[in-house]
Amino acid sequence: MPRRRPGRPRRDDQRPTRDLVLAAATALFAERGFDAVGLRDVAAAAGVDVATVAHHTGTKAELYDACFARVFTAEREVLVAAGERARAALAAGRGEALRALHDLVDVFVDFLEDRPETTALWLRRWLEPHRHADLDQRYAAPLYALVEDLLAAAAAGGALVEPAPHVTVRSLVWAVHGHVVALAAQDGSGARERREFRAFVHRFLDGLYPPATP
């Protein structure tokens, strides 16, 4: 069995090395922001050496980008599937379309509740809106567009009346991120907060898209 090099942290995690590095970097960037994290910090947290971090992810800027790409890939997977289910329900009228939107928002809430570091990572980036702004175009805008297109299709089909889908989507996104921050600040399980927030989002959607008046 090969011996560890002196000073190299012991690695007990069996995940692929790149995944391990990205998970450690994501947690650190989410906690401290871009400037306060170095490759040595990531190496120590991942249990590898600095050369291994650089080999798998390149410079710190490239590592930062890769953390957002990793989060984006996971989020896109769940939202695309939920979006396809919602789109299939549009032809069935307002009731089915609205239930599908409830389900879509629930999927998004579930995702961020399970991965609060995603919210923290984005909030750190948004504290400096003019730095790394290209990350928004690559890793946020496509997901916003997915839901905006769905709302526009529902409006075009007569299932809903939605004059400004981009405003609706951004408002919901910020509300969910705020919910995740509130959960992180609580002691205990936050079960009540989870139930109440989900009920609020459903009421919000119901209020946005009331039945058509005769």
Task: Tell me which residue has tokens 């600095």.
Answer: 50
Predicted pLDDT at 14? 60
Signed CA dihedral, 81, 109, 101, 76: sign only = negative
d(CA 19, CA 13): 10
Above 70 in pLDDT, residue 13? Answer: no
d(CA 212, CA 207): 12
Report residue 149: phi and psi, to 5°: -65, -35
Q: Residue 52 in 3-state DSSP?
A: helix
Segment 141-167, tens digit of pLDDT: 999 999 999 999 999 988 899 999 999
Q: Domain coordinates of the chain in residue numbers? A: 11-58, 65-208
Length of the chain: 214
Of 45, 28, 46, residue with least CA distance to 37: 28
The fold adopted by the segment(s) 65-208 is: Tetracycline Repressor; domain 2 (1.10.357)
Q: Do domains 11-58 and 65-208 have the same CATH topology?
A: no
Segment 44-85, tens digit of pLDDT: 999 999 999 999 999 999 999 999 999 999 999 999 999 999
Of 172, 169, 179, 175, residue with least CA distance to 113: 179
| pLDDT tier, 186 (very low <50, low <70, confident <90, very high otherwise) | confident
Report residue 106: phi and psi, to 5°: -60, -40
CATH superfamily of 11-58: Homeodomain-like (1.10.10.60)
